[in-house]
């Protein structure tokens, strides 16, 4: 079992719709959770982080965390073509002091 799992996609959503990106993790001791956006040929860019169960909103982005289910998600409201990118989920485990990345979900926002 991979430590951090994401569906590779592509996830295709029409412009203006809500994109829902999901991630599961295996280590129950994981403490903090991150979403990075990576455009093709570019470096990962940190867009959201969440530490506690529940929702955290920042503009059009909402991160959701459910530690009991070991599940974290990213919602993108009013999706724009500029949101088309690969979204990497990353999970930090304090005992290992390590940030583990999923393989990413490619999002395509269509006109």
Asked whether the beta carbons of 11 and 19 are under 8 A apart, the reply is yes
Q: Which is nearer to other proteins, 13 or 88 (CB)?
A: 88
Please identify which residue in 43, 69, 82, 95 interacts with other proteins, judged by CB under 8 A: 43
Q: Does 104 bind other proteins (CB under 8 A)?
A: yes
49 belongs to the binding site for other proteins (CB under 8 A): yes
**Contact 35/48 with Cβ under 8 angstroms?**
yes
Quickly tell me which residue has 């719709």 as its tokens: 17
Cα–Cα distance between 9 and 12 in angstroms, integer? 8
Q: Which residues bind other proteins (CB under 8 A)?
A: 31-32, 34, 36, 42-46, 49, 88, 92, 96-104
């Amino acid at each position: 079992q991979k430590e951090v799992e994401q569906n590779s996609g592509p996830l295709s959503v029409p412009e203006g719709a809500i994109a829902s990106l999901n991630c599961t993790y295996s280590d129950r001791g994981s403490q903090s959770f991150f979403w990075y956006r990576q455009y093709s040929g570019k470096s990962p860019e940190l867009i959201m982080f969440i530490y506690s169960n529940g929702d955290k909103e920042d503009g059009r982005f909402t991160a959701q965390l459910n530690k009991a289910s070991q599940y974290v998600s990213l919602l993108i409201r009013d999706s724009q073509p500029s949101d088309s990118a690969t979204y990497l989920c990353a999970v930090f485990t304090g005992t290992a002091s390590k940030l583990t990345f999923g393989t990413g979900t490619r999002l395509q926002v269509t006109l």
